[in-house]
A and B are shown apart, each in its own frame.
Chain A
Amino acid sequence: MSAAATTDAFLERAPQLLRDAVTGFLPEPWRWIVNGIIAIAVILAVFGLLFAFLTLAERKILGRVQNRPGPNRAPTPTLPFLKFLGKIRTYGLAQPFADGVKALTKEDVVPRDADKLLHFLAPVALLAFSILTFAVIPYGRHLVPLELDAAVLYFFAAGASTELAVFMAGWASRNKYSLLAAMRALAQLISYELPLLLSWVPVVMLAGTLSTTGIVEAQAGWKWGFIPHWHVLTPWGFCGFVIFMVSALAESNRSPFDLPEAESELIAGHLTEYSGFKYALFFMAEYFGMIALSGMAITLFLGGWRAPLPFLEFVPSYAWFAVKLITLLLGFIWIRATFPRLRMDQLTRFAWKFLVPLALINLGTTTVWSLMAGSTALQIARWPICLALVVVPFVVIGRTLSAGVAPRTYRYAAS
């Protein structure tokens, strides 16, 4: 199937055709505005639902991992005209909606001495900033909500602003433990911002553009007809992808980096004084951040909406994006079920002494890789050289940092 044929396939253009059928009759400036509103509404609906079912999937999977069933009893509403259907088993699928109703109807407690305005603004700002990041991710061949020249920069500018909301939440609660927890959360966010930013610089270097569409374009084509040119399949790209995902885990406060709200130890840190729907907003923002960072990882390293094999190109591009996104999100849940939580000093040491040096070395590796693109011999030689440049620092820094720490000895447990 030729490239032009895939671009114009009916399913590929179906979302646009549907939109144009709705807005096609409008005059020009209005059409532009309505198109924008439709894009926003679709993003909110799709990712809102994805968030709802992601919480359910997380609780179910965590349940199965811990050998218990997870939520499975949320009832269907019993409406008079649906009586004849009797009891319907939903296998817990109604759970997110039950949770939503619960969060909406719970009492919203604000501490008496709290800074009322900032206490209200913090969750709103956090959610607003994390929704902003969805604007520049290319979800499909023709599905980019906002084409920007500096899209990657926009994404991380919106992400950096969430730190302000965390501070506002901790300070406005007028609770010294909330404030301390907010400072800890900020220390974590600032520490992991650096490896997160450094890990995608190689991609921008080689693609030569900050636009997300351009970066997906740079990963087009096949080596020997079947190996995709994704950045993750190069030594520097693999290193960058792993650093990006680890930092993304930390930036979205996910286990094993969930110290800011370690629910079993810190009574939720800077969220202590939040209840009801405001708490739900924080929760939502965390999942939105996770989804957006996964989407960015797909765009930067996993070839965006591109199919993994040439003969699979008949599947529409947005389906591939969805498959990759859900795979990464399930990976996040798997990690949460498996890893123990880090301690604060381990957390910051890991960022500054391990991830940042590796990310800086990775910049050098990328330079070597791009300088050795000349002849065929050089292109073969750059593989072992760059692999060594990635693996040797990893082993050396890792060994040096863990010297004297491992192996752990157990005094009381039976060995």
Chain B
Amino acid sequence: MSIPFLIIALVTLGAAAVAMALRNLIHSALLLVASWAGVAAFYLWAGAEFVAFAQVIVYVGAVSMVVLFAVLLTRRSRDDLAVAPESLGRALSALLAGGAVLGVLFGAVLATGLKVAPGPAPTVSVLQLGQQLMGPQVASLLVIGALLTVALLGAIVIASTDRDDVGASLDDARGRRQAAPLQEPEDTP
């Protein structure tokens, strides 16, 4: 346990905890990004440079955008952004379900006998990492790539189902426009 590690852990967990406690969804999302950046800092501290920068590109750069776009596109107004539990029962059951998952995960981690590697940790360069990924591990890399592509396509399929209310209002607008056609400006020579 060194001091940098403690600071990184504190920032990561603190940001995550505050993100859970805040009512404003945008603030929560931005704090979640801070938490992800903390995880990247942890990788950097642990000497995994490549993983750290990949974490920043993927999570801070891309996933954060997905989260923010999702929040903004699914809320009707700014006042809708504040979330509160609907009833005490729901809040309690959410707490119970989350606590159960946490308990299972902690139990699994604690039950696993993590062996301490003898000697100092090996330093792996980006070159070795790339050669491992492109050589012996290439099959798993391709499988993961195919899996992510399928997930992406599935998300598009799920999201692109026509919503009735949206379609109806669009048709309304179209009908109104046809009823009162815009006066075309006459061509002047």
Which residues on A are within 8 Å of B, measured CB to CB? 118, 148-150, 153-154, 156-158, 160-161, 163-164, 167-168, 171, 174, 179, 183, 186, 190, 193, 208-210, 411
27 contacts between A and B (CB under 8 A): A149-B127, A150-B49, A153-B50, A153-B53, A153-B57, A156-B57, A157-B54, A157-B57, A157-B60, A157-B61, A160-B61, A160-B62, A163-B61, A163-B65, A164-B33, A164-B64, A164-B65, A168-B30, A179-B72, A183-B69, A183-B72, A190-B62, A190-B65, A208-B127, A209-B126, A209-B127, A411-B187
Q: How far is the CA of A216 from the CA of B126 in the complex (A)?
A: 17
B:21-59 near A, CB below 8 Å? 26, 30, 33, 49-50, 53-54, 56-57
Assess whether B127 is in contact with A160, with CB atoms less than 8 Å apart.
Answer: no
Chain A facing B: main interface SS:
helix
Assess whether B57 is in contact with A149, with CB atoms less than 8 Å apart.
Answer: no
**Is B68 interfacial (CB-CB < 8 Å)?**
yes
Given A148-B49, A150-B126, A171-B26, CB of A160 within 8 Å of CB of B56: yes
Number of interface residues of B (CB under 8 A): 22
Chain B facing A: main interface SS:
helix
Closest Cβ of chain B to A243, distance in Å, is: 19
Given A168-B30, A411-B187, CB of A149 within 8 Å of CB of B126: yes
Inter-chain contacts of B53 with A (CB < 8 A): 150, 153-154, 157
Return the chain A residue nearest B55 by Cβ.
Answer: A157
Q: How far is the CA of A269 from the CA of B125 in the complex (A)?
A: 43
Inter-chain contacts of A183 with B (CB < 8 A): 69, 72
Inter-chain contacts of B33 with A (CB < 8 A): 164
Given A118-B30, A150-B126, A171-B26, CB of A161 within 8 Å of CB of B60: yes
Inter-chain contacts of A154 with B (CB < 8 A): 49, 53
Inter-chain contacts of B65 with A (CB < 8 A): 163-164, 167, 186, 190
Inter-chain contacts of B68 with A (CB < 8 A): 167
Inter-chain contacts of B50 with A (CB < 8 A): 149-150, 153, 210
Assess whether B54 is in contact with A153, with CB atoms less than 8 Å apart.
Answer: yes
Closest Cβ of chain A to B129, distance in Å, is: 9
Q: How far is the CA of A273 from the CA of B19 in the complex (A)?
A: 27
Inter-chain contacts of A153 with B (CB < 8 A): 50, 53-54, 57
Inter-chain contacts of A118 with B (CB < 8 A): 30
Closest Cβ of chain B to A54, distance in Å, is: 27
Inter-chain contacts of B125 with A (CB < 8 A): 149
Q: How far is the CA of A166 from the CA of B117 in the complex (A)?
A: 44
Q: How far is the CA of A113 from the CA of B30 in the complex (A)?
A: 19
Return the chain B residue nearest A113 by Cβ.
Answer: B78
Assess whether A161 is in contact with B56, with CB atoms less than 8 Å apart.
Answer: yes
Given A156-B57, A160-B56, A161-B61, CB of A149 within 8 Å of CB of B49: yes
Assess whether A160 is in contact with B26, with CB atoms less than 8 Å apart.
Answer: no
Return the chain B residue nearest A160 by Cβ.
Answer: B61
Q: How far is the CA of A28 from the CA of B104 in the complex (A)?
A: 49
Return the chain A residue nearest B73 by Cβ.
Answer: A183
Closest Cβ of chain B to A204, distance in Å, is: 9
Closest Cβ of chain B to A199, distance in Å, is: 16
